Amino acid sequence: MAYKRQIGRLPIVPVNAKVHNVVCHYCIVGCGYKAYSWDARYEGGTAPADNAFGVDLSQQQEADTPAWYAPSMYNIVRQDGRDVHIVIKPDRECSVNSGLGSVRGARIAEMSYSRQRNTQLQRLTDPLVWRYGQLQPTSWEDALDLVARVTAAVIAEQGEDGLFVSAFDHGGAGGGYENTWGTGKLYFGAMKVKNIRIHNRPAYNSEVHGSRDMGVGELNNCYEDAQLADTIVAVGTNALETQTNYFLNHWVPNLRGASLDKKKAEFGSEPVERGRVVIVDPRRTVTVNACEAEAGKENVLHLALNSGTDLALFNAWFTYAVDKGWIDKAFIGASTNDFDKAVAANKTSIAEAAKITGLSEADIVKAITWIAEPKAGGARRRAMFAYEKGLIWGNDNYRTNQSLVNLALATGNIGRPGGGCVRMGGHQEGYSRPSDAHVGRPAAYVDKLLIEGKGGVHHIWGCDHYKTTLNAMEFKRVYKKRTDLVKDAMNAVPYGDRPAMVAAIMDAIRKGGLFSVDVDIVPTKVGEAAHVMLPAATSGEMNLTSMNGERRMRLTERYMDPPGVAMPDCLIAARIANHMQRVLGEMGKADVAAKFSGFDWKTEEDAFMDGYHGHEKGGEFVTYDLLRTMGTNGFQEPATGVQDGQIVGTKRLFADGKFNKPDGKAVFAQTQWRGLEAPGKQAEKDKFPFLINNGRANLVWQSAYLDVENEFVTDRWPYPFIELNLQDMAELGLKQGDLVEVYNDNGSTQAMAYPTPSAKPKQAFMLFGYPTGVQGNVVSSGVNEFVIPNYKQTWGSIRKIADAPKGVQHLSFKSQEYTS
Ligand SMILES: Nc1nc2c(c(=O)[nH]1)N[C@H]1C(S)=C(S)[C@@H](COP(=O)(O)OP(=O)(O)OC[C@H]3O[C@@H](n4cnc5c(=O)[nH]c(N)nc54)[C@H](O)[C@@H]3O)O[C@H]1N2
Ligand SMILES: Nc1nc2c(c(=O)[nH]1)N[C@H]1C(S)=C(S)[C@@H](COP(=O)(O)OP(=O)(O)OC[C@H]3O[C@@H](n4cnc5c(=O)[nH]c(N)nc54)[C@H](O)[C@@H]3O)O[C@H]1N2
Ligand code: SF4
Ligand SMILES: [Mo]
């Protein structure tokens, strides 16, 4: 470990420090934090009366004392125009994390914009526009006028289908109910934009259509269920690294046998035992390793199946459980439809599944026995099914999702304590928008249309396709060409001549050009193509609401000022709407201009009241004031009322056995196996030797948009790692840290070889979305019938391009496994 922070002393938090509620704005788990801030000229003292913790800090504190914070939790920021010390530390009172931080969340403070301590100075402070051959800072008025004029001109010529949009639809940073409502009201209210995609997929659709079409909403349980389950079934989720404190604070206690008292209290006389876990993932993850260390190997079953074959496994489990009678007949009868049809259609023998998945018959049977065999005395076994991107971005998303829900329904595990069939989740959620029904199904494949030269103007909100989309190399090639056409045209006219400028831009658009507007907090890779960049304020620089993976909604309070003139996304959307209205009026289109009314919001709270409060189920009970008093525990959506000043929530969905269907009954689905389903995937597999599996690592948040300016991260990962089997490395002539090229017919990229003893032969795993090597360059454009991308099933070749550069020679390449 080469990196050192070199901090010898940190200020003591004084008694009178301000305290704000904070929810970590990174992952779905939504851990509770508190932000302490106070005037930068002062600090507290060691005497109990002089510090916020009320303890004698001149004495050695116990090992896990809460009267402590780490250097990464500290910064100096601006608050209402004044310099303040800020400490953002995990909250022990929050039921989600009980005081745990993670290697991402514990860095919220040091990842904040600080001119005093030089952190995140990359943040955008002013709107930027393309003029005189480069992006130049300007005022909001100037930038928004240009955006509105070009957007209105494109719509006048091509209709609303000429406006393409890429937008976040999540919670946390770059999202939240305020901001999804702001963008939603603009594109789905004032307009009916159809060529819109979501940050992580090339169309406007659901990641889990499959589950929803069965009447089963995907975030249906609570985190406590992981402590109550007899068996946790984890499919394509690397929870230790990606849903860290959910895993550590709720799975691990069960795996350690430490939640037996909780189980007894909940289940009375029903036999209870230490939790076991079945992990379905082609790769041995550190989650598998951690489960073995915590539960003992005998309680962990890792099914390292062939990539993309989950569906066959689930169908076989379903068939076996039905044959054995390990199902909940009463529940099936009362709460579901089409069970018999699914049983007939999905029949898959253990032998067939073993052949397709490459697993042993014994392991498949052992797993379903752990999942569904009744306990002593005939009590139903409680199984919690949890899945994430190994399934969602995996082969045949729709059917695979449904086949897992089939099993959860058949075994009576939805709506019950210790159960659930849930997404583990990515970001927090925070979706509040007018109806998207006009988008249709399948939704437009936006990336494909852009590559084909469609559209005239593109608005991008908090996503960086250059790093994170599929078929990324081709996308970049075309996107650069199209936006360069417009840049060249702009260079030929003086910027101050607005009519001539708009005319030149439109002319370039008619020749295949594209005008690009990027709303972000930092200069992005896709922003290299942009003609306008608009600076957003992010979580903590604005009040922001979201819910986590158990639908727990909280308010993160504004604890610092945004950089420069950056504004919350919802207010940027509102100001775009205001300018559109003005420009359309000037163009003599009063009727269209009228649609851009209702955007007179002054604050993010105005957007919240208009959106969540006014439109969401239970939203009428929810206000900022109430959320503030409910702190980091908040309530679980949907709200059902207010009692004694507290919002009353919903612990589990479907607890009454009623599902999201007109007759209240969940529908079993027919989910026959159909091989690698996305076009071109089987041929790619046949042609190229290596599986280029890909995903995340604990240290890195997403495309490293903040991490890229954080030494702690870039020192560890100057390049994306690619985990390789030792024999494969020998055959390729590779040593640790060597740079390799990964290539196939879609494109090429680079990574740093990380020798991994547990990696299977010819199965590589590469960090996704990294600035110094974009894995998406080699992901094909193949999608499923609803335009869900298939990032995980990618095959390619690997060759050495350089010896380990100097900058990686200090790195450790030790195994990341621990022994106990
Ligand atoms: N190969 C491969 N590709 C994948 C995946 C994979 O597993 N493999 N996973 C997919 C998934 S699940 C995801 S979520 C995507 C991620 O894809 P993206 O959403 O494109 O990636 P992020 O890094 O999350 O980008 C977020 C952008 O939002 C900006 N941002 C942060 N906060 C704010 C804010 O408050 N306001 C605004 N306006 N901007 C903000 C950041 O600076 C950054 O540029 O990648 C997808 N792509
Ligand atoms: N540290 C960290 N945490 C994060 C994020 C981050 O960037 N960094 N991002 C957040 C976001 S937006 C998301 S969406 C989540 C994603 O959370 P996860 O889904 O847990 O993360 P991934 O690493 O994308 O993929 C999970 C696993 O899928 C496996 N997999 C690949 N192919 C298959 C297959 O065919 N079948 C099965 N069963 N598994 C397969 C991979 O080996 C990998 O271990 O993480 C969230 N949390
Ligand atoms: S587990 Fe997720 S929400 Fe919790 S601190 Fe880490 S990144 Fe933040
Ligand atoms: Mo995600």
pLDDT in tens, 152-204: 999 999 999 999 999 999 999 999 999 999 999 999 999 999 999 999 999 99
The three-state DSSP-derived secondary structure of 14-75 is: CCCCEEEEEECCCECCCCEEEEEEEECCCCCCCCHHHCCCCCCCCCCCCCCCCCCCCHHHEE
Number of helices (H), then strands (E), in the chain: 28, 30
Q: Is 102 in the pocket of ligand 3 (CB under 6 A)?
A: yes
Give yes or no for residue 3 having a pLDDT over 90.
Answer: no
The residue among 589, 611, 633 that closes a domain is: 611
User: What distance lies between CA 273 and its chain's CA centroid?
Assistant: 33
379 and 473 together in one domain: no
820: pLDDT strictly greater than 70? no
Closest-lying ligand 1 atom to the alpha carbon of residue 696:
7
Residue 599 covered by a domain: yes
CATH code of the domain containing 22 = 2.60.40.4210
What percentage of the chain has pLDDT greater than the value 70? 100
- Evaluate the omega torsion of the peptide bond into residue 66 and state whether it is cis, within 30 degrees of 0: no
> Given the CA of residue 392, which atom of ligand 1 is nearest to it?
12
Look at ligand 2, atom 46, and give the residue with the nearest C-alpha. 426
Is residue 25's pLDDT more than 70?
Answer: yes
Neighbours of 493 (CB within 10 A): 17
Residue 255 lies in a domain: yes
Which of 611, 642, 665 delimits the end of a domain?
A: 611
> Distance between CA atoms of 546 and 555, rounded to whole angstroms?
7
| Centre of ligand 2 from the C-alpha of residue 392, in Å | 9
User: How does 149-176 read in b/e, with b if 16+ C-beta sit within 10 Å?
Assistant: bbbbbbbeebebbbbbbbbbbbbbbbbb
Average confidence (pLDDT) over 125-132: 97
Contact 692, 767 (CB under 8 A): no
Compute the distance between CA of residue 133 and CA of residue 138 in angstroms, rounded to an integer. Answer: 15
Structure confidence by residue, pLDDT tens digits, 236-246: 999 999 999 99
* 147 and 87 share one domain: no
Residue 267: which H helix or E strand, with range? Answer: helix 260-267
28 Cα: distance to centroid of ligand 3 (angstroms): 7
Please list the helix, strand and coil fractions of the chain in percent, rounded to the nearest 5, in that order. Answer: 35, 20, 45
| Residue recorded with tokens 């250097």 | 71
Q: Is 214 in the pocket of ligand 3 (CB under 6 A)?
A: no
Peptide bond into 638 cis (omega under 30): yes
Residue 249 covered by a domain: yes
State the pLDDT at residue 819: 78
Q: Distance (Å, rounded) from C-alpha 734 to C-alpha 744? A: 19
Determine the atom of ligand 2 nearest the C-alpha atom of 283.
Answer: 42
Report residue 805: phi and psi, to 5°. Answer: -65, 160
Q: What is the pLDDT of residues 801-813, one digit of tens each?
A: 999 999 999 999 9
Q: Please give the pLDDT value at position 1.
A: 53
How many residues does the structure list for the chain?
820
- Identify the DSSP state of 817: -
Ligand 2: atom nearest CA of 239 is: 20
* Centroid of ligand 2 to alpha carbon of 42 (angstroms): 44
Contact 162, 459 (CB under 8 A): no
Ligand located closest to 247 CA: 3
Instruction: Compute the distance from residue 69 Cα to the ligand 3 centre, in Å.
Output: 16
pLDDT at position 4 over 90: no
Statement to judge: residues 714 and 767 lie in one domain: yes
Q: Residue 66: count other Cβ atoms within 10 Å of its Cβ.
A: 15
**Measured between alpha carbons, how far is residue 749 from residues 470, 649, 657 in Å?**
13, 47, 49
Against a cut of 0.85, is the pTM above it?
yes
State the CATH number of the domain containing residue 712. Answer: 2.40.40.20
Q: Which residues line ligand 2 (CB under 6 A)?
A: 27, 104, 235-238, 241-242, 280-283, 285, 307-308, 310, 388-391, 394, 426-427, 693, 695-696, 698, 700-702, 792
CA of 102 to the centre of ligand 4 (A): 18
Higher pLDDT, 816 or 749: 749
Are the C-beta atoms of 530 and 135 separated by less than 8 Å?
yes
Q: Of the ligands numbered here, which is closest to the C-alpha atom of 169?
A: 1
Q: How far is CA 637 from the centre of its chain?
A: 19
> Which of 107, 223, 244 is the best mutation target for the ligand 3 pocket, counting ligand atoms within 8 Å of the beta carbon and taking the most?
244
State CA 366 to chain mean position distance. 32
Cβ of residue 104 lying under 6 Å from some atom of ligand 3 = yes
Residues 93 and 187 in one domain: no
Q: What is the rounded average pLDDT of the residues 279-297?
A: 98
* DSSP state letter for 170: B
Number of domains in the chain: 4
For residue 553, the CA-to-ligand 1 centroid distance in Å is 22
d(CA 780, CA 468): 13
Going by CA atoms, what residue is nearest to atom 2 of ligand 3?
Answer: 27
Is 803 part of any domain?
Answer: yes
Q: What is the pLDDT of residues 37-82, one digit of tens each?
A: 999 999 999 999 999 999 999 999 999 899 999 999 999 999 999 9
Q: Give yes or no: residues 329 and 275 share one domain.
A: yes
Q: Is residue 748 part of a domain?
A: yes
Residue 319: strand, helix, or coil: helix
263 Cα: distance to centroid of ligand 2 (angstroms): 29
- Of the residues 389, 676, 763, which should be mutated to test ligand 2's pocket, given the most ligand atoms within 8 Å of the CB? 389
Q: What's the CA gap between 540 and 555, in Å, rounded?
A: 10
Residue finishing a domain among 56, 80, 111:
111
Pocket-testing residue among 108, 179, 463, 556, ligand 1, by greatest number of atoms within 8 A of Cβ: 463
What is the Å distance from ligand 4's center to 427 Cα?
6
Name the 3-class secondary structure at 403: helix
The domain containing residue 55 runs over which residues? 18-111
**Confidence band (pLDDT; 50, 70, 90) for 701?**
very high
Looking at the domain assignment, is residue 638 inside a domain?
no
Evaluate: CB of 702 within 6 angstroms of ligand 1.
yes
- The pLDDT assigned to 372 comes to 98
Question: Does the Cβ of 105 fall within 6 Å of ligand 3?
Answer: yes
pLDDT at 733 over 70: yes
Q: Which ligand is nearest to the CA of 778?
A: 1
Q: For atom 16 of ligand 1, which residue has the closest CA?
A: 200
Q: Are 366 and 299 in contact (CB under 8 A)?
A: no
Does ligand 1 have an atom closer than 6 angstroms to the CB of 126? Answer: no
Residue 278 is given by DSSP the state: E
CA 101–ligand 4 middle distance (angstroms): 20
CATH number at residue 262: 3.40.228.10
Q: What is the pLDDT of residues 95-117, one digit of tens each?
A: 999 999 999 999 999 999 999 99
468 Cβ inside 6 Å of ligand 1: yes
Separation of 112 CA from ligand 2 center, angstroms? 26
What is the 3 state secondary structure string of 654-717? CCCCCCCCCCCCEECCCCCCCCCCCCCHHHHHHHCCEEEEEECCCCCCCCCCCHHHCHHHHHHC
- pLDDT for residue 551: 98
How would residue 6 be classed by pLDDT, with cut points 50, 70 and 90?
A: confident
The letter for the amino acid at 820 is S
When pLDDT is averaged across residues 576-605 and rounded to a whole number, the result is 98
Residues 572 and 602 in one domain: yes
Q: Which helix (H) or strand (E) holds 764?
A: strand 763-767
Say whether both 107 and 194 belong to one domain.
Answer: no
CA 696–ligand 2 middle distance (angstroms): 6
Q: Do residues 173 and 430 make contact, with C-beta atoms less than 8 angstroms apart? A: no
Which single residue is written with the structure tokens 């089963």?
A: 216
Portion of the chain with pLDDT greater than 90, in percent: 98
Q: Which atom of ligand 1 is nearest to the CA of 25?
A: 32
Under a CB-based contact definition with an 8 Å cutoff, are residues 160 and 194 in contact? yes
Alpha carbon of 46 to those of 14, 54, 57, 89, 465: distances in Å? 9, 9, 5, 19, 50
- Shared domain check, 318 and 258: yes
Q: Looking at ligand 2, which residue's alpha carbon is closest to its atom 14?
A: 426
* Distant-in-sequence, close-in-space partners of 789: CB < 8 Å, separation ≥ 6: 201, 202, 393, 470, 779, 783
User: What's the CA gap between 20 and 1, in Å, rounded?
Assistant: 34
The mean pLDDT value for 628-646 works out to 98
d(CA 42, CA 13): 9
* pLDDT, average across residues 25-29: 98
Nearest to 412 by CA among 441, 443, 449, 374: 374
pLDDT band at 397; cut points 50, 70, 90:
very high
Residues 512 and 373 in one domain: no
Please indicate, yes or no, whether residues 171 and 259 belong to a single structural domain of this protein: no
Q: Is residue 274 part of a domain?
A: yes
Show the tokens assigned to 817.
């496994």
Tokens of 591: 């009727």
Residue 702 CB neighbour total at 10 angstroms = 24
Give the mean pLDDT of the chain: 97
CATH number for position 476: 3.40.50.740
* Helix, strand, or coil (residue 190): helix
Q: Judge if 253 and 402 occupy the same domain.
A: yes
* Residue 258: inside a domain: yes
What gap in Å lies between CA 39 and CA 84, rounded to an integer? Answer: 5
**Cβ(27) – ligand 3 distance below 6 Å:** yes
For residue range 744-780, what is the model confidence (pLDDT) as tens digits? 999 999 999 999 999 999 999 999 999 999 999 999 9
Whether 638 and 370 have beta carbons less than 8 Å apart is answered as: no
Is 260 in the same domain as 358? Answer: yes
From 123, 544, 703, mutation site for ligand 1 pocket: most ligand atoms within 8 A of C-beta: 703
Ligand 1 atom nearest residue 703's Cα: 23
